[in-house]
């Protein structure tokens, strides 16, 4: 097997992972009008996905560390693609919530196993860069979700958007199943237990890393759910325009920030073993003031530029933090490490932020709600500093 081909397969699956996840947010205004949903219900739809995603990741990772991982990659892609198609058939809030739940199960399984599977075929000094390439699917997939969701939704209806974007996942799942072979020696079932999750809490750097990423995920998840609607309400953009502008921002910011962060972290790792944490800390620290400035700008062009710069620096974390998890943990429990990381960052982050922002928006206004989301970068900076300070090398 060629590790570059494996990386390509995982990247493409990850791309549609985020496309299928984010398309919902692009059509919020259409759902609101067609199904008579308020901001609180729309926010809850975003949170339902993340709650299920968060809860199921540790369970799937437990079994993935005991069985061939390509099976989980393929099965999970089929599951979330099917659930995406079913979303287009929904008749009310509850139908969409159920479909989003199954999307959460599928994507949780894939995200738990894909980072280690992608990185293991490459040299350790290239890990941040390789994981940044895999993570580039986040901004690109999110952007395409907004762009395609907004355009297809406005011109053909929101149901067609879900139907069309579900198809590639099935094809990619088949490719993964026939090409990828897990070379890892499967551990004896008695060696890995669910109680192994407790050992991760012995590592202060791992816990602080997860808490810092959780705070930043609250920000990112909240903005991902509500910024297209923010552009629609405050800048007067149509649904398609809002998706296009925000999607373009994510593409530009994601490419610059994600690849830049991976290259920077791999360069700094030659100087300090804490490079992955410092790269992330730098991104959060620069992103915060630019995000706040974007809210204060009355000129929409300047506001978009400020938001774009802020997102670029937040994306510095993408490859660096995944590489940090690999550097802290041993191979036999790595899927569990990523799963616990998923559980913490989403349980405290974007499992609650879309719903929280929706409630604040409904009670006060969306401008204040977005401000609250951006302020969560402050504790992210603090926890990232503590993670760097306590890191001593591979601990688990």
* Dihedral (Cα; 177, 1, 142, 159), 10-degree rounding: -30
Tokens standing for residue 192: 């890995």
Assign 34 to helix, strand or coil.
helix
| Contacts with 392 (C-beta within 8 Å, 6 or more apart), sequence order | 205
Q: With beta carbons less than 8 A apart as the criterion, state whether 12 and 6 touch.
A: no
Rounded distance between C-alpha atoms, residue 227 and residue 218, angstroms: 14
Question: Angle of helix 366-375 relative to helix 377-390, nearest 10 degrees?
Answer: 10
Rounded distance between C-alpha atoms, residue 316 and residue 309, angstroms: 11
Q: Output the CA–CA distances (angstroms, integers) from residue 213 to 80, 105, 268, 334, 376, in the order listed.
A: 24, 21, 20, 18, 10
| Total-model pTM | 0.76
The second-level CATH assignment, the architecture, of 3-180+199-390 is: Up-down Bundle (1.20)
Rounded distance between C-alpha atoms, residue 192 and residue 198, angstroms: 12
Rounded distance between C-alpha atoms, residue 378 and residue 303, angstroms: 21
- The pLDDT profile of the chain, 396 residues, written as one tens digit per residue, is 788 999 999 999 999 999 998 899 888 889 888 898 888 888 888 778 878 888 888 888 888 777 788 899 999 999 999 999 999 999 999 999 999 999 999 998 898 888 888 888 888 888 888 998 998 898 888 888 888 988 898 889 999 999 999 999 999 999 999 998 877 655 544 455 666 678 888 889 999 999 999 999 999 888 888 888 888 888 888 877 887 888 888 889 988 999 999 999 999 998 999 999 999 999 999 999 999 999 988 888 898 899 999 999 999 998 898 889 888 887 777 778 888 898 899 889 887 888 899 889 988 999 999 999 999 999 999 999 999 999 987 666
144: left (phi > 0), else alpha (psi -120 to 50), else beta? alpha
């Amino acid at each position: 097997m060629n590790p570059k081909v494996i990386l390509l397969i995982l990247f493409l699956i990850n791309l549609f992972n985020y496309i299928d996840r984010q398309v919902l947010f692009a059509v919020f205004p259409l759902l609101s009008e067609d199904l008579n949903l308020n901001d609180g219900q729309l926010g809850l739809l975003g949170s339902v996905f993340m709650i299920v995603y968060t809860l199921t990741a540790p369970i799937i990772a437990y079994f993935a560390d005991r069985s061939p991982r390509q099976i989980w990659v393929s099965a999970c892609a089929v599951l979330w693609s099917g659930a995406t198609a079913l979303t287009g058939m929904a008749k009310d809030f509850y139908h969409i919530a159920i479909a989003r739940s199954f999307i959460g199960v599928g994507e949780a399984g894939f995200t738990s196993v894909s980072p280690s599977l992608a990185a293991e075929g490459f040299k350790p000094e290239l890990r941040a860069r390789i994981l940044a390439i895999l993570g580039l699917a986040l901004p690109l997939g999110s952007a395409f979700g907004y762009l395609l969701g907004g355009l297809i939704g406005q011109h053909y209806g929101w149901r067609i958007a879900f139907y069309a974007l579900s198809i590639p996942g099935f094809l990619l799942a088949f490719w993964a199943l026939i090409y990828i072979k897990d070379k890892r020696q499967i551990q004896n079932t008695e060696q890995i237990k669910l109680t192994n999750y407790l050992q991760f809490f012995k590592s202060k750097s791992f816990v602080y890393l997860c808490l810092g990423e959780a705070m930043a995920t609250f920000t990112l998840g909240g903005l991902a759910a509500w910024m297209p609607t923010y552009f629609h309400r405050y800048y007067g953009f149509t649904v398609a325009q809002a998706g296009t502008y925000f999607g373009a921002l994510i593409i530009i910011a994601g490419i610059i920030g994600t690849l830049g962060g991976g290259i920077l972290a791999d360069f700094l790792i030659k100087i300090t073993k804490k490079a992955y944490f410092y790269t992330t800390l730098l991104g959060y620290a620069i992103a915060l003031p630019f995000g706040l400035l974007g809210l204060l700008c009355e000129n929409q062009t300047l506001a978009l530029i400020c938001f774009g710069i802020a997102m670029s620096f937040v994306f510095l974390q993408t490859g660096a933090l995944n590489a940090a998890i690999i550097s802290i943990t041993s191979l036999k429990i790595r899927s569990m490490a990523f799963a616990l990381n998923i559980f913490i960052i989403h349980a405290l982050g974007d499992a609650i932020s879309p719903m929280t922002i929706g409630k604040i928006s409904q009670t006060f206004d969306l401008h204040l709600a977005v401000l609250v989301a951006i302020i969560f970068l402050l504790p992210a900076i603090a926890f990232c500093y503590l993670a760097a300070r306590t890191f001593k090398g591979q601990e688990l």
